[in-house]
Structure 1
Amino acid sequence: MTNNRLTRRAVSAVLVASLTAVAGGARHAAASDGPPPSAPTIEWTSCEGLGDQFQCARVPVPLDWDEPDGEQIELAVMKHLASKPDERIGTMFIDPGGPGQSGVGLVGDSGEELDAWGDGRFDLVGWDPRGTNDSSPVRCFTSAEEEAAFWDGVSIPSTPEESAAYQRKTVELAKRCGEVSGDLLSHITTADTARDLDRLRAGVGEERITYVGLSYGSLIGQTYLNLFPGRVRAIVMDGIVDAVDATTSMETNIGNTVSSADEVFRQFLDLCQNGAPGECALAGHDEPVQQRVARLFTQARLTPIPAPNADPPGELTYGDLQVATFNPLRVPPDWPQFAEDLDAAVEGDASALLTAARAMQTPAGFTAATTSAAISCGDAPARVPSSDWPTQIARFTEAGELWGPVNGWWLWAPCASGWPADATDRYTGPWNAQTENPVLLLSARYDPGTPYRNAVATEKRLANAVLVTLEGWGHPSYQIASACIDEVRTRYLVDLTVPARGTTCQPDEVPFS
């Protein structure tokens, strides 16, 4: 990674997913914020294939934090050393979201650029949260061959027959996950990860944490600061999950996360229609952009669209079309290419869109979705069984027509299919802890993955938080360049200063301008 644009794409969250309070959560909240416990110093080693600026470690943590001396699991951790060691302030932890994305991968791919967020004055530490990637990952199959056979030919359903078959598959998936992963599934909640983060804080010798939480990482941040408010130096959250909705039920969680994509898609279409001539492939035809794209979606509902130049050639279903919007809608610099792909499909060749949809519906893609679901299931169990999919998928579609069915099938359905976990230590609030220093919240006005209203609600809910709004698009806000946002973030991390409430920033560029 050599520039900010590439960094923004590298840390893009693929999936954003995040009950009434339980005794475990309330007990932990009351007992956690005493003097920081001592912990063994993390033993760092060189990272294979990376330079001297990087160090790696494996850190043991309890499977069950109620039994700290019981069974241990290991966390994969990576550090990028501060580029200005003589001016070093401390350590900055970062999580890229998901749930389930790799913090190790983030630091390894984008450490140099993220170092600039703290003006080179922090060691940057990322980790793979428990249950993910290289940190005791959730597994549902005993071999790659078994996994590939299970997902062969599966895609997001478009018809009642496909939906019924997919629901049966999620029941089998939940059973397999329980058989292979066992007790791990009950101990991968965000509260468990927040306790792991506190172990990492202690292991690098910091009395108070500096943390950047992106997308789902903002739920880790909110959980941490409510469990350990006295151990917070600075927390930045960008692309903000509503902690109440994310811990009420999977149905509430999904309803929240799919509710803003439709408006952002309308923004995309309007900017295309009104942009500079020649900048958007969908514009300049005999029909308005909005009508042209609506015709594409109507056609895909009726019959699949040919994709003759895909490898192999195939047909784009309505479900594939929805999936194909998932990544580009989050990244405004990609909107011109997205418009080209949509326009080609309108003209009868959906090859590019099908290729994008297939990339997300591989065995690896379904496994990533299952990991995300597994974490979210622990935080907010489903209340409606997946056998009631006709009613529930309809509710998700009403909440968000573009992504409601996708997130419903990917994330809700496994949780609602007899998910084999008993996450008694999940945290469900309160969410209004007072920190000594203010917490900085960042959000784009038009965020398709975490609605802007989440950031507004979080600012009101926390006792000491300031929201800065990007008057633009993207999930999270750094997906489109803004020198204003960059300056606000760096000044906060370095100097602990925040702007006045109600501060807004403009993007440096506007799509199709």
Structure 2
Amino acid sequence: MPPRDRSALRRMAARRTIMAVGAIMAVITGLAAAPAVHASPAAAGALRWAPCGDPAQPEAECSTLSVPVDWAHPDGPKLELAVARRKAGEPGARVGSMAFGPGGPGDSGVDMVVRRIGRFSTEVRRRFDIVSFDPRGVGNSSPVTCSGDLLAERPSPELKSQADFEATLAYNGRLRADCRARTGPVFDHLDTGQTVRDLDALRAALGERKLTFHGSSYGTLLGAQYAETYPRRVRAMVLESVMDHSVPTTREFLRSEAATAQDSFQEFVKWCDRAVHCALHGRDVHAVWQGLLARAGRGELEDPAKAGTSLSSSDLVNKTAFRKFYGADYTGLATVIASMDASRPLPASPTSTAPLPPATPVFCSDWRLPVRDYQEYTALVAMMNKTAPDLPFLLPIHMAAACLGTPTANPQHRLDAHGAPPILVSNALHDPATGYPWAVSVARRLGRSGVLLTYEGHGHGSVTRGPCMQDTVDGYLTDLEVPPQGTSCPALPL
């Protein structure tokens, strides 16, 4: 049977398993390293492909695309976007190019195409040239560069007074000035509105009349704004693990992020109560975890990755629990918690949190999260801790602190993509970073264009979680088969 026929049968089988969903139920990653781009710089509007220079990945090709530093002045200074592609595995069945919008902010799309191509389904790799890029300010696309010493001096987000609040504002100003001086003019043009124009330039350079796009996590903000800016230039668009850029206030942004993270912790506790192979099965998981938080707060908890070094309570939350929730690795998380609980306490000592990545200015240029003073800040922290009692000082409050006093070029607004074709909005019911209510909101704001696809399981990222999800998304991307509104797919076993 030809591959296309087998794929069609798989999609038909998947459609028989989908169910209408009745209930309405951030994301910040480190700056990913990108492979060196060895292709010659391209002239504006042209792509000249050459091997990326990774002997282990000979099929990956790299290029650069010249775009304006500031699209408001298209004839002004230029920057070179790093671009990578993998050609369709079966040229005779090729649909065209599919652009991937990386997450983060700070993830390298070039790295995704060169080294992590398995992130895409076999059918998508067979039918599309998969193309991605390092967004401006990231990887090899005029990366944000800052003083390492200054980054290491970042104040703790656990502010104790108005003086701490003012010191954070002053530090943010010094850091912005340092990063701007080291990075160059692009530092003031990192927002997603600029990247939308970069994406359209990439579409044109690829020779595609309309864009086929898959955006993940922070890349969904890029996709949604592209559909809003160029609704009639969209062929197909998947928004996976969805950012809702219409959240209007600092309080609502932080509350929703705390709620979705706490939901994942609750799901972990429920799983451990059921699963006999959970390393904490039969124990009070909340009590064990709160004990670890207390030890970390005193500087007595050893970092499993750095012998003899204490782990802060913030890093326990964000580097241990939150990262495991991304991949729904409940077994691994339980094992790590049990091991830390059994470990010998270190002598009490001060702790510090890990510095935020240099890609933080990208986030601050897209999210206006004002906080008037220390009193309002403490109220926001208290609200988050009440909403997520097991996960104090989650990354979103770090980001809010890091953005204090920063001008925002592309603030939140109501999404309006009138005239766009059907757009597939995909989210897990229990996503720790981009909560399901955000996906519901984005699909609703897209109006007739928004088609919500629900994965009834856990984790950040959903389109390849089982044959139902994968075949539904593949059918939409390749053949524009739009699933019924309200389609859902069952969860895979944890």
1:383-462 correspondence runs (5 A): 383-385=370-372, 389-401=377-389, 405-416=393-404, 418-419=405-406, 421=407, 423=409, 426=410, 428-435=412-419, 437-462=421-446
2:314·2:394 contact (CA, 8 Å) conserved in 1?
A: yes
Check the 8 A contact 1:305/1:348 in 2, yes or no. no
Distance 2:172 2:412 in 1: 26
Partner residue in 2 for 1:378: 365
Structure 1, unaligned runs of 5 or more:
1-12, 18-38, 142-146, 352-356
Q: Which residue of 1 aligns with 2:461?
A: 476
Q: 1:430 to 1:273 in 2, by over 3 A?
A: closer
Q: Distance in 2 between matches of 1:297 and 1:502?
A: 40
Change beyond 3 A, Cα 1:490–1:267 = same
Partner of 2:280: 282
Tell me by how many angstroms 1:174 deviates.
3.0
**Aligned residue pairs: how many?**
447
Please state how far the C-alpha of 1:317 moved relative to its aligned partner.
2.8
2: distance between equivalents of 1:436 and 1:191? Answer: 18
Give per-residue Cα distances to partners, 1:89-116, cap 9 Å, x unaligned: 1000002211121000111112255252
Partner SS for 1:327 = helix
- What SS is found at the alignment partner of 1:267? helix
Partner of 1:20: none
The answer for the alignment partner of 1:29 in structure 2 is none
2:264 corresponds in structure 1 to 264
| Aligned 8 A contact 1:132 1:138 in 2 | yes
Give, in whole Å, the separation in 1 of the partners of 2:344 and 2:99.
44
The 5 A counterparts of 1:182-331 are: 183-245=185-247, 248=248, 252-275=252-275, 277=276, 279-284=277-282, 287-301=283-297, 303-307=298-302, 311-323=306-318, 324-331=320-327
1:126 lines up with 2:132 in the alignment: yes
Distance 1:136 1:403, change over 3 A: farther
Matched position secondary structure for 1:198: helix
For the Cα contact (< 8 Å) 2:426–2:463, is it kept in 1? no
Residue equivalent to 1:36: none
Cα distance in 2, alignment partners of residues 375 and 236 from structure 1 = 22
More displaced 10-residue stretch of structure 1: 166-175 or 262-271:
166-175
8 Å contact from structure 1 (residues 255, 404) kept in 2: no
Q: Secondary structure at the match of 1:326?
A: helix
CA contact (8 A) 1:119 1:494 kept: no
SS in 1 for 2:126: coil
Whether contact under 8 Å (1:315, 1:350) holds in the other structure is no
Which residue identity does 2:268 align to in structure 1? F
* Alignment correspondent of 1:35: none
Distance 1:47 1:316, change over 3 A: closer
SS in 2 for 1:58: strand
1:422-459 deviations in whole A, cap 9, x for unaligned?
A: 62xx3755523234531111110000100100111111
Deviation for aligned residue 1:410: 3.1
Q: Offset of 1:288 from its aligned partner?
A: 2.8
Q: Name the aligned partner's letter for residue 381 of structure 2.
A: I
Other-structure match for 1:30: none
Contact preservation (8 Å) 1:258, 1:407: no
Match for residue 28 of structure 2 among 6, 11, 15: 15
- Does structure 1 residue 80 correspond to structure 2 residue 86? yes
Q: TM-score, normalization: structure 2?
A: 0.82
Aligned CA distance change for structure 1 residues 172 and 398 (closer, same or farther; 3 Å): farther
Matched, 1:64 2:70: yes
Contact 2:454–2:487, Cα closer than 8 Å, also in 1? yes
Aligned to 1:25: none
CA contact (8 A) 1:16 1:257 kept: no
Matching residue of 2:12: none
Contact 1:171 1:414 in 2 (8 A): no
Q: 2:50 aligns with which of 45, 53, 57?
A: 45
How far apart are the structure 1 equivalents of 2:304 and 2:450? Answer: 50
Could you tell which deviates more after superposition, 317-326 or 489-498?
317-326
Give the alignment's Cα RMSD to 1 decimal: 3.1
**Cα gap change, 1:382 to 1:428, in 2 (>3 Å):** closer
Residues 422 and 339 (structure 1 numbering): CA distance in 2 closer, same or farther, change over 3 Å? Answer: closer
Between 1:308-317 and 1:106-115, the stretch displaced more is 308-317
Residue 293 of structure 1, CA deviation: 2.6
Structure with greater helix percent:
1
Q: Which moved more, 1:180-189 or 1:124-133?
A: 180-189
Q: What are the Cα deviations for residues 369-409 of structure 1, in whole angstroms up to 9, with x where unaligned?
A: x41x3112212333225756434433443454455623245
1:232-279 CA-partner distances (Å, limit 9, x unpaired): 00000110011202xx4556544433331001101011101111x2x1
Q: Would the aligned equivalents of 1:396 and 1:408 in 2 still touch at CA under 8 Å?
A: no
CA distance in 1, matches of 2:461, 2:105: 14
Cα distance between partner residues in 2 of 1:290 and 1:211: 41
**Residue 164 of structure 1: SS of its match in structure 2?**
helix
Deviation at 1:46, TM superposition (A): 1.7
Return the alpha-carbon distance in structure 1 between the equivalents of residues 368 and 230 of structure 2. Answer: 24
Percent of residue pairs identical: 30
CA–CA distance in structure 1, aligned partners of residues 371 and 143 of structure 2:
27
Q: Name the CA shift for 1:488/1:45 in 2 (closer, same or farther; >3 Å).
A: same
2:146 match: 140
Is the 8 Å Cα contact of residues 250 and 377 (structure 1) preserved in structure 2?
no
Give yes or no for contact 2:314–2:392 (8 Å, CA) kept in 1. no
1:92 and 2:119 aligned: no
TM-score normalised by L of structure 1: 0.79
Q: Which residue matches 2:111?
A: 105
For structure 2, the residue ranges without an aligned partner over 5 or more in a row are 1-25, 31-43
Q: 1:422 to 1:408 in 2, by over 3 A?
A: closer
Which whole-Å CA distance do the structure 2 matches of 1:184 and 1:268 have between them? 42
